[in-house]
Structure 1
Amino acid sequence: MLRGALLRCPACGGGSMFARYLKVVDDCPRCGEALHHHRADDAPPYFTIFIVGHIVVGLVLFVEMAYRPALWVHGLLWLPLTIILAVLFLPPVKGALVGLQWALLMHGYDPNAEEETIDAFEPLPEDSRARG
């Protein structure tokens, strides 16, 4: 997870995990580890909101109790800070989650697992059908 949070390949720690801002490379440029298996989906934004929210709310409460500024000052302080922190935290959080998936051998990272294919048109075996 630490290698991922540092935006590096979870396998070797040397290659870059991202081709662009949030686009994970298909394979590590250094060691060749396949990284296209990741399924981060909605988890990185969720955890980013959770982390940034705790930071900003704590600061808002501290500033309000210590200085009692006008509401427009709060708006000028916290809106840009929230956006900047979210933009900065999102790639490391996504990298850490991809690193966690790699470490736990989730979503195709397990070299010993058979590849799962699901055919929507293939009928279910007789045993698995609901009996009524």
Structure 2
Amino acid sequence: MTQISPFAAGLTGRCPRCGEGAMFSGFLKIAPSCDACGQDFRNADIGDGAAVFVMFIAGFGAVIPALLIDVAYRPPIWVHFAYGIPVILFLSVFLLRPVKGLLFAYQYHHKAEEARFPPGRE
């Protein structure tokens, strides 16, 4: 079996093991298993990592242009709202699924799992 790129598998929402089956069963819900190779995804725990990255990206994507527009033109505040809210919503919805898929694929690729301490070292 050829090595599947976790970057390509994550961004396209494909199984990180075979690259064929779907990773998601809904918009953001990770499927219980791959429909092509049967890889079990039930132990996948992405948490809020994708949301944090998307918040940073969308925040920078809205704030930096807003500051540049404000310095150059000094528009009224409603212009910033009219520009900022759609940009943040669009970037958040557009980026959340690929970023979640990317984090899941890299978690699978690096065999990340919950930390386990030896007995007596809690």
Tell me how many residue pairs correspond in the alignment: 113
Instruction: Select which of 77, 95, 119 maps to 1:71.
Output: 77
1:129 Cα deviation from its structure 2 partner: 8.7
More helix by share: 2
Output the TM-score relative to the length of structure 2. 0.82
Aligned to 1:84: 90
Segments of structure 2 that go 5 or more residues without pairing to the other structure are 1-5
Which whole-Å CA distance do the structure 1 matches of 2:76 and 2:121 have between them?
64
CA RMSD, aligned part only? 2.1
Which aligned segments of 4 or more residues in structure 1 are displaced greater than 3 angstroms? none
Separation (CA, whole Å) in 1 of partners of 2:70 and 2:107: 40
Percent identity (aligned): 35
Per-residue Cα deviation, 1:71-101 (whole angstroms, up to 9, x for no partner): 1011011012101211111111110110011
Residue aligning to 2:3: none
Name the CA distance, whole Å, in 2 between partners of 1:129 and 1:45: 33
Q: 1:18 aligns with which of 24, 29, 33?
A: 24
Return the offset for 1:43: 0.8
